[in-house]
A and B are shown apart, each in its own frame.
Chain A
Amino acid sequence: MTSSPPRRSPAIAFTLAIVLLMIFCLAPVLWQLITSIKVNADIETIPNIYWPSRQTLSHYAELFVRRPFFNYLFNSGFVAIASTVLCLAIGTPAAYSLARQPIPGRSLILGLILIVTLFPYILLFLGLLELARAFGLGNNYLALIVPYTAINLPLTILVMRSFFQQLPRDLEDAAQMDGYSTGQMLLNILLPLTLPALVTTGILTFIFSWNEFLFAFTFMTEESLKTIPVATAQLSGASQFETPYGPLAAATVVGTIPLVMLVLFFQRKIVQGLTAGAVKG
C-alpha cells in the first residue's frame, strides 16, 4: 500500500465530477427555461444573455392564449392515462398467469415478450398505419391508446411477473381454501399487495405514452387532437423565415414539466421498474 494517495484530492475530484454531472443533466433544460422568460430582443442577442434582467411570460401566454396548448396537454394526458390503465388491467392478470399458472410454452411466450421490448417503433409503423386506416381510426384517440397499451404490455408483464413471484404462495393457497376463485383472489388479496408494483409499471407506461412521437405524428393530423411532443415539434412562426424561439422554448418547458414532477416524486420507483424490466427478464 505504498501508493495510497492523499485523501483530499480524490474528494475534490469527486465533488467536481458530481458538479459536472449535475450541469450535464440540468443545463440543457435550464437553458430552455431561461430562454422562455426572455424578451425577444434578449433571445436574439449575441453574446448570449445568461441572466436576463427583463423577464416576460408572454411566450407562455402565446402558447395558451393564441395556440391550443391546453388542448395538447389534455390530449397527451388523456391518451397516456387511458393507455396506462388499460395496460395494467390487461397486463396484470397475464403476468400472474405467467408467474403461477401451468402454461404450455411459457418460456417461449416469455422469450418473445422479452424480444419485442427491443423492437423500435418504426418496425410496426407500416402495419399499424394500415390497421388504423382499415379500422378508420385516423384522428381518433384509439389510434394511439391501442398501440401504446400494447407497446407497454411487455414491460408491464415482466415487472409484474417478477413481483408476483416474490409473493409467498401460502396466501394463494389459503385463499383457495377459503373458496376464492382465481379472479377474486387476484382482485381482493393480491392486488392490494402489488399496489407498489402497479404504481411502478404505471409510471413507466405513462412516461412512454406521454413521450411517444412517431405514431402521434402520423395518426393525429387534426390540430385539436395533437399531443404535446408533436405540437412542440411542429410549432412554427407566422412565416417560414421566422422561427418563434421564445414560444418554442416555452413549449419545451411546458412539455417537460409533468415529467420533471414525476421524476422528482417517483425517482425510486422509476429506477426499480427499469431495472426489474430490463434485468430480471
Chain B
Amino acid sequence: MPPSPSRSRTWPTVFLFLAPAIALLLLIYGYPIARSLGLSLMTQNLGTQLEPQFSGLGNYGRMVGDGRFWHTLGNTAVFTIAAVTIELVLGLAIALLLHRKFWGRGLVRTIAILPWALPTAVMAVGWAWIFNDQYGVVNDLLQRLHLISGPINWLGDPALAMVSLIVADVWKTTPFVSVLLLAGLQSIPDDLYEAHAIDGATPWQSFWAITLPLLMPQLAIAVLFRFAQSFGVFDLVQVMTGGGPAGSTETVSLYIYATVMRYLDFGYGAALTVVTFLLLVATVAIAIALLGRRGLRQL
C-alpha cells in the first residue's frame, strides 16, 4: 500500500482533530497558570487602586512573613496527610473485601462507589448537619453509647472541626481509592496465589509477598490523585466550616479565594497560587522519581 497520497491529506485532519482540544486546554489551563506567574510579580490591590505595578519578588517576600499563609499551609498539610493515609488503608481494605466472590457483590460494589459520585458541596451541607452541635446524629449516637456525657460542638472546636472535615473527606473519596485498587487486584493472576499457597504460605504472607508489591502502581496513582485533590480542597471546607473556627481549618485554597475575592489583592493571590502550584509540582515530581521509570511504564 503506498502511503504517500494519504500522508499529504493527513496533516489538515491532524490539525483539525487536535487543535480545538489543545487550544481549549491552553486557554483554561495554560493561560491561568501563566497569568498567575506574571501577576505574582506585580502589586495589584486596593492600595494601588487595582492598577498593576511591578514589584519584583515583593509578593514572595511578603509570604515569608505572612503567618496566615504558613498557618493555612500547615492546615492543608494536616488535612492532606491524615485524609490520604486513612483513605489509602481503608480503600485497600474495601478493595480486598470487594475482590472476593460473594452473593450480591454487584449491588455492594454499586453502593460502595456512591459517595464518590455525590456533589461534595451538597454532602458537605449534609455532614455539617450530621456534626451539628445541638441536634447532630454523631452526638446522639455517642451519647446513646455512653461514650460522651454531653453534646460536643464539633465544628466549633479547632481540632474537632479538622477531625470532622477529615471524616467527611474520607467518606467521600475512599470509594475512588478502592475502585482504583480493586482494578489492580483484578489484574493480579490467581495462579500466583495458588503457587504461593502450595508452598505453604498463609494468606497473610501472600498479601505482603504478592498483593502489596504488585499493587504498587495503583497505590502510587491513588496517592498522586488524592494528594493533589486534597491539597487543593475547597468546596468541602468552604461549606462545612468556612475555614473556621478562627481560621483553624482554613486551607491554602480558601486563603487564595479570600485574598482574591474579599481583599481584592490580585498580585498576592497570584503569588499564593504560584507557590501552591510549585509545591504540588515538586511533590508530584518527587513521587514520580521515587516510583522510577520502570514503575511508571507499568502505569
Q: Which residues of A contact B (CB under 8 A)?
A: 1, 3, 14, 17-18, 21-22, 24-26, 28-29, 31-32, 35, 43-48, 90-91, 93-94, 96-98, 101-103, 109, 113, 115-131, 146-147, 149-151, 153-154, 157, 173, 176, 181-183, 207, 210-211, 213-214, 217-218, 228-230, 232-233, 235, 245, 248-249, 251-252, 255-256, 259-260, 262-264, 267, 270-271, 274-275, 278-281
Contacts and interface: CB of A to CB of B under 8 A. Distances in A.
Interface stretch (B56-64, B81-89, B135-143, B158-166): B135-143
B195 interface: no
B35 interface: yes
Contacts, number: 287
Interface residues of B, number: 98
Given A14-B102, A29-B118, A211-B118, 11 more contacts: A1-B200, A97-B13, A120-B231, A121-B232, A126-B256, A127-B31, A150-B29, A214-B257, A228-B119, A267-B110, A278-B225
B130 to A, nearest CB: 6
Contacts of B102: 14, 18
A120 B232 contact: yes
A232 B124 CA distance: 10
Contacts of B18: 93-94, 97-98, 103
A21 B253 contact: no
Contacts of A245: 129, 132, 135
A25 B178 CA distance: 13
- The 8 A-B pairs of least Cβ separation, nearest first, read A120-B232, A127-B32, A150-B28, A94-B21, A213-B235, A93-B17, A229-B121, A122-B253
B137 A123 contact: no
B221 A28 contact: no
A181 to B, nearest CB: 7
Nearest to A115: B284
A213 B113 contact: no
B29 A263 contact: no
A81 to B, nearest CB: 16
Nearest to B28: A150
A90 B16 CA distance: 10
B13 A213 contact: no
A21 B252 CA distance: 32
Nearest to A11: B102
Interface of B: 1, 6, 9-10, 13-14, 16-18, 20-22, 24-25, 27-29, 31-36, 39, 94, 97, 100, 102, 106, 108-115, 117-127, 129-130, 132, 134-135, 137, 140, 143-144, 151, 171, 175-176, 179-180, 182-184, 200, 202, 217-218, 221-222, 224-225, 228-229, 231-235, 238-239, 252-253, 256-257, 260-261, 266, 269-270, 273, 276-277, 280, 284, 299
Contacts of B231: 120
A48 B29 contact: no
Contacts of B200: 1
Contacts of B33: 123-124, 127
Q: Dominant SS at the B interface?
A: helix
Contacts of B27: 131, 146, 150
A211 B119 contact: yes
Contacts of B6: 176
A97 B14 CA distance: 6
Contacts of A125: 32, 256-257, 260, 273
A1 B205 CA distance: 13
B137 A48 contact: yes
A251 B122 contact: yes
B247 to A, nearest CB: 17
Contact of B117 (A14, A35, A109, A270): A270
Contact of B112 (A21, A117, A211): A21
Contacts of A101: 10, 13-14, 17
B10 A31 contact: no
A251 B273 contact: no
A278 B299 CA distance: 9
17 contacts: A28-B126, A29-B115, A46-B135, A93-B17, A101-B14, A101-B17, A117-B225, A122-B232, A122-B256, A123-B232, A124-B33, A131-B32, A151-B28, A211-B120, A232-B119, A260-B114, A264-B110
A260 B116 CA distance: 10
